[in-house]
Amino acid sequence: MEDKLPNRQSHRLKNYDYGQRGLYFLTMCCQNREHLFGYIEDKKMFLNDAGLMIERWYNEIPNKFENIRCLDYVVMPNHFHCLLHITKSGENLIGDVVRWFKTMTTNEYIRGVKEHCWQRFDKRLWQRDYFDNIIKNEAMYINITEYIKNNPSKWKEDCFKKVV
């Protein structure tokens, strides 16, 4: 008898070229929504060493992918929002950038667990998938940048917050 894997639904748009020039809003969540990157207090995000590491690797993306620019972002206790700009169409798809980012941060997080007693994670640091939004106009861009900026102050209502 053959085991069937769950049929996963893709969040990506069919027939859309995720390597074309444009702005992309991405969200990546920790596996099991574990709070690994810091904490919120008085509506402000306080990054721990793991959260600072996430921030550092985000800022390394343009060094790896020359056609990608990093714009606004926020590291939250259990997820990460960022706005990426593909400056010229090319072979680097958003998925390639996310895969590289998740690999680099996971590898460094594992070193942090071994060398600095960071909190352990269950099997994988990040959830398998990620969420994306293609920024289509200036109003959407403004809304997204405001959302990123205000995300820590709205933590109590955050849909990614783990309910304990």
The contacts of residue 36 (CB under 8 Å, 6+ apart) are 30, 50, 51, 77, 78, 109, 118, 119, 121, 125
152 in a domain, yes or no? yes
CATH code of the domain covering residue 61: 3.30.70.1290
CB 36 within 8 A of CB 108: no
Q: What is the pTM of this model?
A: 0.86
| pLDDT attached to residue 14 | 60
Q: Which domain holds residue 62?
A: 22-157
pLDDT tens-digit profile of 64-85?
999 999 999 999 999 999 999 9
Mean local confidence (pLDDT), 121-134:
93
Helix (H) or strand (E) holding 101: helix 94-116
62 in a domain, yes or no? yes
pLDDT band at 19 (very low <50, low <70, confident <90, very high): low
12 in a domain, yes or no? no
pLDDT band at 6 (very low <50, low <70, confident <90, very high): very low
As for how many domains the chain has, the answer is 1
Q: Is the dihedral of CA 107, 18, 136, 10 positive or negative?
A: negative
